[in-house]
Each structure stands twice: as structure tokens, then as C-alpha cells.
Amino acid sequence: MNKCKKSRKLALASAISLVMVVSAGTLAAPKLAEDITEARQESQIWTTYALNRHLDAHDIKVTVDHGLATLTGKVNEDISKELAQQIALGVRGIKDVDNGIEVEADAIPSSSWSGRSYAQVVEDASISAAVKSKLLWSKHAQGLSANVETQSGKVTLLGTANSSAAKEMAGLLATKTHGVEAVKNKLVVEEGKSTMTETAKETASEMGQGISDTWITTKVKSTLMYSSNVEGSAISVTSRNGVVTLTGKVASGAEHDLVVALANNVRGVSEVDASGLKPS
């Protein structure tokens, strides 16, 4: 075999090898992508279980294969088994669920302990953040220097307020927050006292530095979303020169009045037009 033929054969062998490698890589890429998707789905399902106060994720195992979620483990109620299945079905890409979870009435959750569950810790932290935000945005709670502590849905307000009205408003805002079961208002009234943050706000106001309508709209929407007894997603909010316009559906006169009061409470709001709120 001459040198030229050897070179051509070598080139052909190299080309075939390259094609085989590329083909293998091409076939492996979809499989890798599928594995990543399934791992994400498993993680999403399990994390949702961990964040749900009605389930103990430590007692449930999840595997996903080609859109089929297989659940195993133990729970102490049929409704918990059904809940686990519905959560899995709600994850994008899950087409079916093989629910092999066993129901044992006397099953003891492996993570049961005297303290709060992970889900409760997350929920309490979320409640504290919502209450703190509402207090910060409130124009009637000026002069507050408040710490918010939440334990199993029970909120404790600690710190100072510069008036009884500010203390009362802080308690009301906390009480009307999603997830709050009870409020202990331990704020101490120290009239005339104002925090550094509030002093800065007051100074800015005196200098004519108004609050933007965009800020007002965002905070009113967030306040409604955080508040219990209000269907915040059903209400549209717009602001112009401090005048807030509310449109949408309310379930009752009581909800109407609460929505208006909450909107009026936000700093920068000079007036609330609620003529667009209609009974559902």
C-alpha cells in the first residue's frame, strides 16, 4: 500500500471516529438535559413538601422518570397522601404520579420535635418580614422603633412608638397580616421620640421631596397582598400626584372599608378614590 493510500485510509478512519464521538455526544446531550430536568422536578416537589406545614418531607421520598413522579414513605392521614400527590402533579412536566405513600394512623414523623418545623420557621420569617414592611410604609406609624418577632404565627411587637395612635396602628397592621394568629403589642409609648429614619423622612418631606407615584402604587399593592380579609390580586391600583385609585371587586362592605383604610395608611397617599371598587 503506497503512502498516499495509507494517508487516505488514516484520514477516513479519523473521520469515522470523529463522527462516532460526535454522535455519542449528540445522543448523550438530550439524556443529560432530561436528567437535569428530573433532578430539578424532584427538588421542587420535595422542597414544596418541606415548606408545607401539613407534610413531613423527611418521611417522603420522590423520584421522577420521564414525567412520572414516584412517591414513597409514610404519612398518618389519607388527606396528607392526597396532598402530596396534588403537589407533585402541580409541578411543570409531571404527567402522572405513582403514589406509593403508606398511611399509618400511628406514624410518628421522623422530624417531630418540640420546636418549630422548617416550614413553620420559614412561614414565621415571612410573617415578620410582611409586618415590618407594612410598618415601614405606614404614614400613621411614624416614630416607631419596632422589632417584630413571630413564633408559630403569634407576633410580638417590641420597641417604642411616639404616640398611642402609632402604637395602635402598628398593632392593627400586624393583626391584619396573612398568617398572623395573635398579636402582643408591647410597644412603649414615648411621646415626641422619633427614629433617625423617620426624622430623615420628615426632613425630606419638609424640603418638598415628594414620594413618587410608582413607589406609592407598589407599596399599596404589596400592603393589600400581605393583608388578610382582602383579595389583593382582584384589585387594581394606580396613583397620580398622591391620589390612589382603586378598581376591582370586593366581597363585602367590610372588605371595601378595609381596602380603603389600608391604602390610606401608606405614606405619600393624600387621597383614595374607591369609586371603582364594586361588589363581586
Neighbours of 6 (CB within 10 A): 10
Q: Is residue 3 part of a domain?
A: no
Is the same domain home to 266 and 222?
Answer: yes
* Segment among 27-31, 53-57, 99-103 with least mean pLDDT: 27-31
Is the same domain home to 99 and 164?
Answer: no
pLDDT tens sequence across 216-268: 999 999 999 999 888 867 899 999 999 999 999 998 999 999 999 999 999 89
pLDDT tens sequence across 189-219: 887 655 534 544 443 443 334 589 999 999 9
Q: Is residue 154 part of a domain?
A: yes
Q: Is residue 73 part of a domain?
A: yes
Is the same domain home to 19 and 93?
Answer: yes
Q: DSSP string spanning 255-269?
A: HHHHHHHHHHHBTT-
Q: Which of 112, 130, 145 is the last residue of a domain?
A: 112
Q: Residue 172 in 3-state DSSP?
A: helix
Give the containing element (helix H, strand E) for 61.
Answer: strand 60-65
Q: pLDDT confidence of 4, banded at 50, 70, 90?
A: low
Q: And the C-alpha cell for 45?
A: 416537589
What's the distance, Cα to Cα, between the start and end of the chain in Å?
91
Q: What CATH number has the domain bearing residue 39?
A: 3.30.1340.30
Looking up cell 437535569 gives 36
Is the same domain home to 221 and 175?
Answer: no
pLDDT tens sequence across 120-133: 777 888 899 999 99
Is the same domain home to 60 and 126?
Answer: no
The pLDDT, as a whole number, for residue 197 is: 47
Reported pTM? 0.60
Identify the top-confidence range among 26-35, 95-104, 201-210.
95-104
Is the same domain home to 81 and 152?
Answer: no
Which structural domain, as residue segments, surrounds residue 41?
Answer: 9-112
Q: And the C-alpha cell for 167?
A: 402604637
Number of domains in the chain: 3
Q: Which of 78, 97, 112 is the last residue of a domain?
A: 112
The Cα 280–Cα 225 span in angstroms is 18
Give me the residues paired with residue 64 across strands: 69
Is the same domain home to 38 and 87?
Answer: yes
Packed helices 164-175 and 118-137: angle between N→C axes, nearest 10 degrees: 140
The pLDDT, as a whole number, for residue 46 is: 85
The Cα 263–Cα 130 span in angstroms is 16
Let me know how many helices (H) and strands (E) the chain has, helices first: 7, 9
Q: Is residue 2 part of a domain?
A: no
Q: Which of 57, 91, 112 is the last residue of a domain?
A: 112
Contact 94, 69 (CB under 8 A): yes
E strand spans, the chain: 60-65, 68-75, 96-103, 145-151, 154-161, 182-189, 235-240, 243-250, 271-279
The Cα 179–Cα 121 span in angstroms is 12
